Amino acid sequence: MREPIRVLVVDDSALIRQMLVRALGLDPRIEVVGWARNGVEAIEQSRKLQPDVITLDIEMPELSGLEALPHIVRDCDARVLMLSSQDDPDITYQALASGAVDFISKPRGGFASSLSELSDQLVKKIKTAYRIDPTKVGTRPAGPPQLIEALTSAGGVTPHRSTVPRTGSNDSPAQIVALAASTGGPPALERVFAGLPQDLPVAYMVVQHLPPGFTMSFANRLARISGMPVVEAEDGMRVRPGHGYLAAYGRHMVIEGRPGRNTTIRLLDEPPVHGVRPAADPLFFALAAEYADRATGVVLTGMGTDGAEGLLAMRGAGGHTIAQDEDTSVVWGMPGAAVKLGAAESVEPLERIAVEVRRHIRGEA
């Protein structure tokens, strides 16, 4: 018989703690081993109990979840899930950059949903987190000090801006780079975007699996880090070189138009693919059809298989395809599926992906 997943629940609300404990108690694979009311107690309990997973509220008295997080990941091998509201998405991304593996979005009115819905969400997240290698948890991104500061700063950052003029704003891109990610994706995408060039006629399109209310904030974060305009995609939006586009929650993102010919974003209300919407595969298939060898596809860390089949289509159409390697992936589900399918032309550690993208698009542009 498998050992249960040992969970520590941290929240300053007694009602929410009770609801979380009840929800988790419905699954025989999960055992709640303790609870804490604030960040100070969370640090003490994590050291004492050494749980497998911690659900950590962000906003708490005495010591917030964000303040407690570095101490927890330093002294404990637990995978940390942040409990976040739509009012503080940027703080949530700071937590992910500081060692949390994922987050659970609180409805604006608190946990007013039914116990069964709450249980389904929590149990899925906890089981996913439990599969993550603890040695990949709690470490800040490697790289230059200014990059690390950019990824964890609470305020805005001063982005590096290229001094080379870009192609005129009325032109469509000559190339498109599409990136897909899920669990562990936000810090990985931040790392990659910090190294992408904006002085070439290239546009960047991103599918990151996020809950509602978090897409626009993440687009703004990528813009601050990269120094290029990054926006939440809208239906009918023209794709411009030197710009980034993040798929909106709840709709698949595809493109229409050939290189340099009025390329346009289309948002589709079609059924979820691999259980998610937006999914990477629709975008990758569209790029294979429209941009062929003028497209680059990148699959980063994430649970599941989304992006593998679409990446294979891109490679078959002559596009350049990259998958993140297992050692640097928080979860090697999506990139691993792409590798096993033969869809990845190259397999790179996270710190090399932006370099590989630059090398390819500069050679082709």
Q: What is the pLDDT of residue 169?
A: 44
**Cα dihedral across residues 112, 116, 121, 127: positive or negative:** positive
Q: Which of 334, 314, 339 is nearest to 188 (CA)?
A: 334
Region 293-302 average pLDDT:
97
Tell me the pLDDT band of 334, cut-offs 50, 70 and 90. very high
d(CA 266, CA 283): 10
Q: What is the pLDDT of residue 354?
A: 97
**Cα dihedral across residues 324, 329, 335, 336: positive or negative:** positive
Q: Is 363 exposed, middle or buried (0-12, 13-18, 19+ CB in 10 A)?
A: exposed
**pLDDT per residue as tens digits for the range 209-258:** 998 889 999 999 999 999 999 999 999 999 999 999 999 999 999 999 99
Instruction: Kindly report the average pLDDT of the chain as a whole number.
Output: 87
The share of the chain scoring above pLDDT 70, in percent, equals 86
Please give the helix or strand (H or E) that residue 7 lies within, else none: strand 5-10
**pLDDT per residue as tens digits for the range 264-288:** 999 999 999 999 999 999 999 999 9
Region 337-357 average pLDDT:
97
Residue 66 exposure: Cα atoms within 13 Å on the Cβ side? 16
Question: Which residues participate in catalysis according to the annotation?
Answer: 182, 209, 306
Joined tokens for residue 231: 């926006």
Please give the helix or strand (H or E) that residue 179 lies within, else none: strand 175-181
Region 108-136 average pLDDT:
75
Q: What is the pLDDT of residue 150?
A: 45
Higher pLDDT, 308 or 199: 308
What is this structure's pTM? 0.86
**pLDDT per residue as tens digits for the range 7-26:** 999 999 898 899 889 889 88
Q: What is the pLDDT of residue 90?
A: 84
Q: Would you say residue 49 has pLDDT above 90?
A: yes
Joined tokens for residue 271: 């059924």
Architecture of domain 149-364: 3-Layer(aba) Sandwich (3.40)
Residues of the chain with CATH 3.40.50.180: 149-364
**pLDDT per residue as tens digits for the range 150-189:** 444 433 333 333 333 333 445 789 999 999 999 999 999 9
Q: Judge: domain 5-136, CATH 3.40.50.2300.
A: yes
Residues of the chain with CATH 3.40.50.2300: 5-136
Tell me the pLDDT band of 83, cut-offs 50, 70 and 90. confident
- Looking at residue 92, its amino acid is T
